[in-house]
Amino acid sequence: MTETLSSILIVGAGQAAAVAAATLRDQGFEGKITLIGDETHAPYERPPLSKDVLAATPENEPAIDVKPIDFYSIADIDLRLGLRVESIDPVAGTAELSDNSQVMFDQCLLTTGGTARFIEAFPEDAPGVFYLRTLDDAHALRTALKYSKHLAVIGGGFLGLEVASTAHKMGVAVSVIEATDRVLSRVAPPTFSDWLQQRIVHTGLSLHLGNAPASITPPTDIKASWDIRLPDEHHIVADTVMVSVGLSANSALARQGGLDIDPNNGGILVNEQCQTSQANVYAAGDCTSQIRGNAAQASRLESWQNANEQARIAATHMLGKDPAPAAYPWFWTDQFGCNIQMLGLPEPDLNYVIRGELDPKAETPKFIMLGLRNDVPRYAIAVNAGGDLRALRTLFEKGVCINPNEFTDTSVTARAFAKSATAAHNAGQPN
């Protein structure tokens, strides 16, 4: 394939795009790589936007570039920023750009990411309303928080809670409004949600669960605040509103190009190699939908790790090589004085066992919730215990059956427990 492959187009200039471009060069591809993004910034990491970037000052910006800025010139990558790809023709191998130019390609990688879901009552251009997806969004919200007294966060998912935590540390009063009956309801068991909710309240934030705003009154010429009334009769007056109610796959370009789209979640359908329904078009990152492991149907996975892994796999397969399998799913978030890491994917009806103490008032809580099916680890949530979680990773990868009582015994280190369980598992395997 590399003998005839001379040009690759990467659409989207984020994490996955930069990793894919680097992988192509690392794998020996010497042809033309064109990387096009509609932002004016070179590819950067998004996780810091709700944390380090939001808390920084213009004079002390954190370094969030995926690659050093001179990487693209050194690696001979044609980086074009501030442009949109308006259409692609996979058969002809052409892409039409917003500046009326055209790019030819042998293969194309779509890393178009996602777009924030909007709430009609909170228009994105309304005064005091923010949706956080880009670096420019983070800068605008940071400026607003500098003068804000009360922030209302709509949505109790990862991003909303990270912004709430950061704003609170900046000295802003924060109210979190979540329509469901608990935070992180899609990814965490009720026991963990309950612990985190207690910690949020203990930290000093106002938390309103099971409440979609009943009435919303926007600012006026004589009143600069939003009035938000909840069904439980709480009344929130906020000068700043940050809306975080999920992400939609940015698959419009893929639809235009005739690619198969997942009807359940709107993501671009890809196989294990991140290849779409068009053989010369691949996709990676938040825009994709993929069957993972033994799952019955495809799903979207929005994570830093997934963007990296899919980019690596796609780039390697584009060159006709067999990529190593994707790493076991992993995710992290920093909020309310805790580093929270998750290993695996959440599943219904897991049996959870806990190592450590669930004390929401502890200065530095430390525990692991391990989700088991037939005593085999399937999913874990670690709070301030990243090292211990890494020690347990092999149990997930090998499907090791464990003794739950031994796992909860903190007198034995996590590394020693994992080593013992793995040895017992190996001893029981047929030769």
- Which string of DSSP letters, residue by residue, matches 332-395? EEEETTEEEEEEE---TTPEEEEEE---TT-SS--EEEEEEETTEEEEEEEES-HHHHHHHHHH
Q: Are 35 and 78 in contact (CB under 8 A)?
A: yes
For the chain, the structural domain boundaries read 7-114+247-318, 118-243, 337-427
**CATH architecture group of domain 7-114+247-318:** 3-Layer(bba) Sandwich (3.50)
Question: What's the pLDDT at 293?
Answer: 76
Express each pLDDT in 131-152 by its tens digit.
Answer: 999 999 999 999 999 999 999 9
**CATH architecture group of domain 337-427:** 2-Layer Sandwich (3.30)
CATH topology identical between 7-114+247-318 and 118-243: yes
Question: What's the pLDDT at 3?
Answer: 52
Question: What's the pLDDT at 208?
Answer: 97
The DSSP output letter for 9 is E
Residue 9 CB contacts under 8 Å (≥ 6 apart), including other chains: 34, 36, 95, 103, 105, 107, 108, 109
Q: Inter-axis angle of helices 190-203 and 158-169, to 10 degrees?
A: 20
Closest CA to 79 of 23, 121, 114, 32: 32
Beta bridge partners of 261: 268
Residue type, 154: I
- The three-state DSSP-derived secondary structure of 299-329 is ECCCCHHHHHHHHHHHHHHHCCCCCCCCCCC
Question: What's the pLDDT at 429?
Answer: 60
Task: In whole angstroms, give the CA distance from residue 272 to residue 11.
Answer: 20
Residue pLDDT tens, the chain, 431 long: 445 799 999 999 999 999 999 999 999 999 999 999 999 999 999 999 999 999 999 999 999 999 999 999 999 999 999 999 999 999 999 999 999 999 999 999 999 999 999 999 999 999 999 999 999 999 999 999 999 999 999 999 999 999 999 999 999 999 999 999 999 999 999 999 999 999 999 999 999 999 899 999 999 888 889 999 999 889 999 999 999 999 999 999 999 999 999 999 999 999 999 999 999 999 999 999 999 877 778 999 999 999 999 999 999 999 999 999 999 999 999 999 999 999 999 999 999 999 999 999 999 999 999 999 999 999 999 999 999 999 999 999 999 999 999 999 999 999 999 999 999 999 886 43
Task: In whole angstroms, give the CA distance from residue 138 to residue 384.
Answer: 26
Express each pLDDT in 31-79 by its tens digit.
Answer: 999 999 999 999 999 999 999 999 999 999 999 999 999 999 999 999 9
Long-range CB contacts (< 8 A, 24+ apart) of 288-295?
288/249, 289/249, 289/261, 289/262, 289/264, 289/265, 292/326, 292/329, 292/345, 293/345
**Cα–Cα distances in angstroms (integers) from residue 10 to residues 105, 110, 220, 278, in the given order:** 9, 6, 45, 15
**CATH architecture group of domain 118-243:** 3-Layer(bba) Sandwich (3.50)
In the block, tokens 């709700």 appear at 50
Closest CA to 187 of 303, 356, 326: 303
Q: Are 329 and 290 in contact (CB under 8 A)?
A: no
- Residue 135's CB: how many other CB atoms inside 10 A? 19
Closest CA to 255 of 237, 271, 273, 278: 278
